[in-house]
């Protein structure tokens, strides 16, 4: 009850110094908004990364020609990574002897235009060549239609499985099965539609068109093409053994001697997420630094306001002490007043931070999130700032002599 009375007194005092209080609350809000906003955006991005970053499934890994910094090999030395040829990829697949699905993949282009009648997509369609194991290795599933089959690969049939965004753009709510579309001037029959996949950082999992890898080689050639080998295991416990086996097998395919460095990379989706998040640590540090500097300025401003408030309310303090108020009661009142101001500014900053953070996260492919841990931390920080800024003015107020205070003008 006494706490609530002190809060009411604090709110009345805040109303008496409204302009100064608003300015202080704004300073606090900006600091908290910077902290919560950036951390909200990062949490949203991290959540999206965990679900959608790559086109790989949770129990899969890729063998590719370069790591882009995501190498899982035992050695961290930089070596020349040769392109993986179609012959090497197919030899690996034929010789692979574990209980796992192996898919040979070619990323032919990500700037194609898909057309159906008068409708067409933006030039952001991805054309991927692969085989029947692509869905399992890449974490896709079918909404309707069928998968690629060995006959499609062997004959190079003009068939395609399309993502949800392509379907919606070209056919709306109509089924595209057995309809013809054109990609890069190549006529293709739609045999399947992937379930919604999503993507992170605008990597469009729903803008992909998968064709037989043999057709992709013939109709969508690319200079200096390097193939990717995707391997998916049933049990995640078998992932590391499969990586070791695949490393050894591909070294054999490339005829590397024992002392030679591996000139290829093995990449897991979670390693990409981990490294991407590590690269965002500097952003977190910057957010904390900005918030610290801003809150330090807010604490100084708040302390000045409280000192001025103590001076202006000397007579009021004297009257309260003269009728029996203890020094500890006066001290608590001013400390609570400082904390109340900080909490008002903190709540405003939290709300703005969540809004700004989610707008930023959504703009670059992240998901909506309310970071309760950061919200709680922000309010705790506001309490600490209010306590540190209010303790000295409160101490001064508690030590005022009531007789001297009553004669104060």
Strand, helix or coil at 10?
A: helix
Q: What is the pLDDT of residue 76?
A: 43
When mean pLDDT is compared over 71-85, 244-258, 293-307, 336-350, the highest value belongs to 244-258
Confidence check: pLDDT of 166 > 70: yes
Question: What are the phi and psi torsion angles at 106 (to 5°)?
Answer: -125, 125
In angstroms, rounded to a whole number, what is the distance separating the alpha carbons of residues 388 and 339?
A: 9
Q: What is the pLDDT of residue 271?
A: 59
DSSP 262: P
CB 382 within 8 A of CB 346: yes
Contacts of 374-381 with CB under 8 Å at 24 or more apart are 374/35, 374/36, 374/39, 374/40, 374/43, 375/36, 375/350, 378/32, 378/35, 378/36, 378/346, 378/349, 378/350, 378/353, 379/343, 379/346, 379/347, 379/350, 381/32, 381/35, 381/291, 381/295, 381/346
Q: What is the pLDDT of residue 10?
A: 67
Higher pLDDT, 68 or 159: 159
Residue 270 is encoded by which pair of tokens? Answer: 């979670």
Residue 381 is encoded by which pair of tokens? Answer: 């920080």
CA angle 213, 217, 223 (to 5 degrees): 130
Confidence check: pLDDT of 71 > 50: no
* Other Cβ atoms within 10 Å of 173 Cβ, number: 6
Strand, helix or coil at 205?
A: coil
Nearest Cα residue to 272 out of 41, 109, 55: 55
Give me the residue label for tokens 């303090």: 317
Residue 2 is encoded by which pair of tokens? Answer: 């006494």
Average pLDDT, the chain: 82
Nearest Cα residue to 34 out of 378, 318, 342, 393: 378
Higher pLDDT, 115 or 296: 115
Question: What are the phi and psi torsion angles at 265 (to 5°)?
Answer: -125, 150
Strand, helix or coil at 380?
A: helix
Nearest Cα residue to 203 out of 302, 144, 269, 251: 269
CB 242 within 8 A of CB 131: no
Q: What is the pLDDT of residue 278?
A: 63
Q: What is the pLDDT of residue 136?
A: 86
Higher pLDDT, 127 or 378: 127
Spatial neighbors of 62 by CB under 8 A, at least 6 apart, are 56, 228, 229, 230, 231, 266, 267, 268
Mean pLDDT on 115-134:
94
Mean pLDDT on 154-176:
95
In angstroms, rounded to a whole number, what is the distance separating the alpha carbons of residues 176 and 196?
A: 15
β-bridge mates for residue 159, sequence order: 189
Question: What are the phi and psi torsion angles at 207 (to 5°)?
Answer: -110, 25
CB 131 within 8 A of CB 148: yes
Q: What is the pLDDT of residue 153?
A: 95
When mean pLDDT is compared over 82-86, 151-155, 223-227, the highest value belongs to 151-155
In angstroms, rounded to a whole number, what is the distance separating the alpha carbons of residues 276 and 205?
A: 18
Q: What is the pLDDT of residue 163?
A: 94
In angstroms, rounded to a whole number, what is the distance separating the alpha carbons of residues 83 and 223?
A: 11
Nearest Cα residue to 198 out of 148, 138, 239: 138
Q: What is the pLDDT of residue 5?
A: 67
- Range scoring the smallest mean pLDDT among 175-184, 254-263, 264-273, 298-307: 264-273
CB 242 within 8 A of CB 231: yes
State if pTM tops 0.75: no
In angstroms, rounded to a whole number, what is the distance separating the alpha carbons of residues 399 and 254?
A: 83
Residue 187 is encoded by which pair of tokens? Answer: 């006529």
Sign of the Cα pseudo-torsion (395, 400, 406, 409, in order): negative
Give me the residue label for tokens 């390097």: 226
CB 24 within 8 A of CB 341: yes
Q: For residue 143, what pLDDT band results from cuts at 50, 70 and 90?
A: very high
In angstroms, rounded to a whole number, what is the distance separating the alpha carbons of residues 100 and 39?
A: 39
Q: What is the pLDDT of residue 319?
A: 80
Q: What is the chain's Cα-based Rg? A: 32
End-to-end CA distance of the chain: 33
């Amino acid at each position: 009850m006494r706490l609530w009375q002190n809060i009411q007194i604090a709110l009345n005092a805040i109303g008496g110094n409204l302009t100064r209080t608003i300015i202080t609350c704004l300073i606090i809000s900006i600091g908290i908004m910077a902290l919560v906003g950036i951390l909200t955006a990062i949490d949203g991005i991290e959540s999206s990364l965990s679900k959608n970053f790559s086109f790989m499934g949770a129990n899969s890994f890729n063998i590719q020609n370069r790591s882009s910094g995501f190498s899982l090999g035992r050695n961290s030395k930089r070596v020349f990574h040769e392109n993986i040829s179609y012959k090497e990829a197919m030899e690996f697949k034929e010789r692979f002897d574990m209980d796992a699905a192996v898919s040979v993949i070619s990323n032919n282009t990500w700037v194609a235009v898909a057309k159906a009648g008068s409708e067409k997509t933006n030039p952001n369609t991805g054309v991927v060549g692969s085989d029947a194991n692509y869905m399992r290795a890449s974490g896709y599933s079918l909404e309707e239609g069928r998968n690629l089959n060995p006959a499609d690969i062997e004959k190079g049939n003009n068939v395609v499985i399309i993502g949800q965004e392509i379907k919606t753009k070209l056919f709306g709510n109509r089924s595209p099965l057995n309809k013809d579309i054109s990609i890069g001037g190549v006529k293709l029959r739609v045999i399947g539609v992937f379930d919604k996949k999503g993507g992170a950082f605008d990597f469009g999992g729903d803008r992909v068109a998968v064709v037989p890898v043999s057709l992709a080689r013939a109709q969508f050639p690319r200079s200096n093409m390097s193939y990717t080998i995707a391997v998916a295991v049933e049990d995640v416990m078998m992932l590391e053994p499969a990586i070791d086996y695949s490393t050894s097998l591909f070294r054999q395919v490339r005829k590397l001697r024992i002392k030679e460095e591996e000139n290829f990379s093995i990449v897991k989706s979670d390693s990409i997420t981990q490294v991407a998040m590590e690269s965002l640590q500097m952003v977190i540090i910057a957010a904390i630094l900005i918030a610290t500097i801003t809150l330090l300025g807010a604490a100084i401003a708040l302390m000045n306001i409280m000192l001025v408030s103590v001076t202006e309310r000397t007579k009021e303090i004297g009257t309260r002490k003269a009728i029996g108020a203890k020094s500890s009661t006066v001290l608590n009142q001013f400390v609570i007043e400082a904390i109340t101001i900080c909490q008002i500014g903190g709540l405003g900053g939290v709300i703005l931070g969540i809004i700004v953070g989610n707008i930023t996260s959504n703009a670059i492919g992240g998901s909506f999130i309310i970071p309760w841990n950061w919200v709680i931390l922000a309010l705790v920080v506001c309490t600490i700032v209010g306590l540190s800024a209010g303790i000295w003015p409160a101490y001064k107020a508690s030590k005022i002599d009531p007789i001297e205070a009553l004669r104060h003008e």
